[in-house]
Homo-oligomer: A and B are copies of this chain.
Amino acid sequence: MARVGIYGATGYTGIELINVLSRHPGVEIGFATARSAAGQLLSEVFPIISDLRLAAVDEVDPATVDLVFTCLPHNTPELIPIVQRALAAGAKVVDFSDTFRISDPQVYAARRGKEHPAPELLAQAVYGLPELHRERIRQARLVANTGCYPLTVILPLAPLVRADLLADSTVIVDSKSGVSGAGRSLALKTHFGETHETFSAYNVGRVHRHLAEMEQETGLHIIFAPHLLPVFRGILSTIYVNLNPT
């Protein structure tokens, strides 16, 4: 029985994770943290059947669990000390943000416009896509869970790259994402009246923050256009490639 802790349980990532773990026969949830909802039952915050009580970050001890999941927003300053404390306490860490996904600190700095906040952690992180890095994930103490868009791009392209089927190293990716990817924080873009019964492209021509992951894992140059679908879950990416003549 693996005992796990969850940091950031009330965002969409945290809730989905709890839904999956609750049905897993080999997992026991030791603690779950939340910021504003600390002290409440999870079932008071979300329509979920659960007797889990949410705790503040400083009320929980990662030494009491085997593994922690960090489900905090991108760029949260609390993330680094939480990860450090968990690793020091002997717990493995699976992080859902994009903090540890770009393995090369120079690429990180170039793309983000600043140095990585914890290069010594980055050095030990493994990109968490089991289909590509299963053995390394097994050994890892810190796993950088794949991003949402990247998953839909890397999984179909990686086998084509390995089999040397692509005639051209530039590919076009037209991605359509449900709204959950934008998280539970309020924004006009995800206000019901602005999203329902409509559809739009966004950030066209700009470098999407998840592009570096896709390029790192496929070795390809990717032209990427993301779109927002009026559905909650799921991403569909339509990918255009030139194949080698057979």
Say which residue of B25, B187, B191, B230 sits within 8 Å of A231 (CB atoms). Answer: B230
Are A191 and B192 in contact, with the CB atoms below 8 A? yes
Q: Give which listed residue, B23, B174, B186, B240, contacts A187 with CB less than 8 A.
A: B186
Q: Identify which of B184, B188, B225, B240 contacts A193 (C-beta below 8 A).
A: B184
Q: How far is the CA of A231 from the CA of B195 in the complex (A)?
A: 11
- Nearest neighbor of A200 in chain B, beta-carbon distance: B236
Which interface class (under 10, 10 to 19, 20 to 34, 35 or more) fits A?
Answer: 35 or more
Is the C-beta of A51 less than 8 angstroms from some C-beta in chain B?
no
Q: Which of B174, B191, B199 contacts A174 (CB 8 A)?
A: B174
Q: Are A229 and B229 in contact (CB under 8 A)?
A: yes
Q: Please state if B199 and A196 are interface contacts (CB–CB under 8 Å).
A: no
Chain A stretch 197-232: residues in CB contact (< 8 A) with chain B: 197-201, 223, 225, 227, 229-232
Residue among B176, B184, B197, B234 making CB contact with A232, cutoff 8 Å: B197
With an 8 A cutoff between CB atoms, is A12 at the interface? yes
CA distance A234 to B176 in the complex (A): 16
Q: Encode A157-192 as 1/0 by CB contact (under 8 A) with B.
A: 000000000000000101010011000101110111
How many whole Å from A48's CB to the nearest CB in chain B?
13
Question: Shortest CB–CB separation between residue A1 and chain B, in angstroms?
Answer: 15
With known contacts A172-B172, A240-B223, A191–B184 Cβ distance under 8 A: yes
Bound complex: CA A195 to CA B197 (Å): 13
List the B residue with the shortest CB-CB distance to A186.
Answer: B186
Q: List 5 A–B pairs whose Cβ atoms lie within 8 Å, in order of A's numbering.
A: A186-B187, A186-B191, A190-B192, A193-B232, A225-B238
Listed from nearest, the 10 A-B pairs whose CB atoms lie closest are A186-B186, A174-B174, A192-B195, A179-B192, A190-B192, A197-B231, A192-B192, A172-B240, A199-B236, A199-B229
